[in-house]
Amino acid sequence: MDVRQLSVLLAVAEHQSFSAAAHALHTAQSNVSAHISRLEQEAGATLIDRTRRCLTPEGQVVADRARRIQAELQAISDDLASMRANLSGTVTVGVIGTTARWIAPLLLDEVGRLHERLEVVILDATTTSLVPLLVQNRLDLAIVNLPVDDPDIETDDLFSEDRVVIAPTGHELALRDRIDLAELARHEILLPPKGTAFRDEVDTDARRIRVELSTRAEIDGLRLLASLAFSGFAPALLPASATHGASTDGWRSVKVDRLSPRAVGLGRNRRTMPAAPPRAVADAIRRIVRRESANQPHIQYLESLGPRPTAARSSHLP
């Protein structure tokens, strides 16, 4: 097997056809077919299902390894470049929505100021969507909700945050500085739908004290939920960082007692040694969170004590 063959396999997997892969690679379709045929002969297995235009199970195993190989080869180039001159290259960072809203501009500014030749690409998505992209090495780093239950992902603590109610001015909840969870259950509020991590954690706390929260509406997406609350539509239960940097006109933030805080961490693929550019971006993220949390009463920076353990690591060793 050679790197070129593996690159062709990944292109076919991504574009789901030999012709589209050839176009993306700026080569002839016959070359793509030849590379795949030789790779299958060496592997002793069919890697592409020609009928369904997707990877076979054997092809998926090879593709997963190929992505790691590509990441390591790029890391070699990045590390050598960092030793010769300033850091350069591209770092892809996934960020959960409520955190992305305030950290993205700060991260882009800080990296641009310290490393002019380093490009940061940010993907705003949920933890559920970001974790598979980390596993596939399509992201270098991701800011995610903790815990992450995937043996291929290593996470460090970043911050914990209270869950607060955003209440429109004029609503009776806006007259309060804090409220107990049992009392909050008597008010209709906006919540994420059941089955989302945020909602499940909140419902677990509510069951613990034998109450059930009342919903005005269920909104799938914390950023949309925050927008509706800020616009005065209805009170909403949100992580405290959703209010970071937002104008305080027209709403109040109310602390909810007996709700567990939400933990947020920085994740990466534990099977890949991070190159210098991702390490620099990770350091920038930690500096920003440490700095910003100092002025936010409901957000607590967590000094990392090393990677969080995940279940069943030993059975997934490469």
Q: What is the pLDDT of residues 129-163, one digit of tens each?
A: 999 999 999 999 999 999 898 999 999 999 999 99
Same domain for 140 and 108: yes
Q: Is it the case that residue 311 has pLDDT exceeding 80?
A: no
C-alpha atoms less than 13 angstroms from C-alpha of 167 in its C-beta half-sphere: 21
Asked, for residue 72, whether it belongs to a domain, the answer is no
Same domain for 179 and 131: no
Please identify, among 232, 260, 288, the residue that sits at the C-terminal boundary of a domain: 260
Same domain for 304 and 184: no
Same domain for 128 and 248: no
For residue 184, what are the domain limits? 163-260
Asked, for residue 287, whether it belongs to a domain, the answer is yes
Same domain for 268 and 146: yes
Q: For the domain that residue 191 is a member of, what is the CATH number?
A: 3.40.190.290
Q: For the domain that residue 283 is a member of, what is the CATH number?
A: 3.40.190.10
Q: Distance between CA atoms of 96 and 223, rounded to whole angstroms?
A: 10
Asked, for residue 250, whether it belongs to a domain, the answer is yes
Q: What is the pLDDT of residues 24-56, one digit of tens each?
A: 888 888 888 888 888 888 888 888 888 887 888
Please identify, among 260, 278, 297, the residue that sits at the C-terminal boundary of a domain: 260
Same domain for 172 and 245: yes
The pLDDT confidence band at residue 315, using thresholds 50, 70 and 90, is: very low
The pLDDT confidence band at residue 188, using thresholds 50, 70 and 90, is: very high
pLDDT at 305: 52
Asked, for residue 207, whether it belongs to a domain, the answer is yes
Please identify, among 14, 32, 65, the residue that sits at the C-terminal boundary of a domain: 65
Average pLDDT over residues 224-228: 90
Average pLDDT over residues 271-282: 88
Q: Chain-wide mean pLDDT for the chain?
A: 86
Same domain for 277 and 149: yes
Same domain for 129 and 171: no
pLDDT higher at 161 or 308: 161
Q: Is it the case that residue 231 has pLDDT exceeding 50?
A: yes
Asked, for residue 110, whether it belongs to a domain, the answer is yes
Displacement of CA 54 from its chain's centroid (Å): 26
Same domain for 244 and 176: yes
Q: How many domains does the chain have?
A: 3
Same domain for 278 and 250: no
The pLDDT confidence band at residue 264, using thresholds 50, 70 and 90, is: very high
Asked, for residue 73, whether it belongs to a domain, the answer is no
pLDDT at 316: 33
Same domain for 277 and 145: yes
pLDDT at 22: 85
pLDDT at 266: 97
Q: For the domain that residue 16 is a member of, what is the CATH number?
A: 1.10.10.10
The pLDDT confidence band at residue 82, using thresholds 50, 70 and 90, is: low
Same domain for 146 and 120: yes
Asked, for residue 76, whether it belongs to a domain, the answer is no
Asked, for residue 80, whether it belongs to a domain, the answer is no
